[in-house]
Amino acid sequence: MTALPGPRAVLGALPFLEGFPREFVEALTPLAHERSYEVDTTIVREGAPADAFFLLVSGKVALEVVAHDRPRRTIETIGPGEVLGWSWLVPPYRWRLDARAVKPTRLVAIEGAGLRALLDRQPAEGYRFLLRLLPVVAERLENTRVQLLDLHAP
């Protein structure tokens, strides 16, 4: 993982943040850090502290579940413009899956605790933020359900 300077310009161009007031995006800037990951690098690991919200700028990331007695299983692969992570929002703030770069990947990491505090301070934008995040959570749960059905199919 390499930290990259200057996420301010990148934040304003990310689809997830389109339509948010400039002041809200500006308030995210001190919480945001650009990072890059090489192929096959683990970005988050299940059970580890979930302390960031990630927005993919480029590359591809596999969202995976790992069971000690089974092979790694990809639930979904996400790419540029997509969101990685909602575990930073729900106590006990632990990742519920692994995420691994499958192509060279660049993303913006927004500090989870700071983001939660910002959403609390700006409830209208917090509500809008959660309305954008909820479909991501629902899609990930549906993809997990489909994978489980496939896993247990005769």
pLDDT digit string, tens, across residues 99-146: 999 999 999 999 999 999 999 999 999 999 999 999 988 887 887 777
2-112+121-151 CATH fold: Jelly Rolls (2.60.120)
User: Contact at 8 Å (CB) between 11 and 58?
Assistant: no
Six token digits for residue 13: 């161009």
Over residues 39-60, mean pLDDT: 97
- Between the CA atoms of 69, 74, 151 and 50, what dihedral angle is there, to the nearest 10 degrees? 70
pTM for this one?
0.87
88 vs 93: CA distance, rounded Å: 5
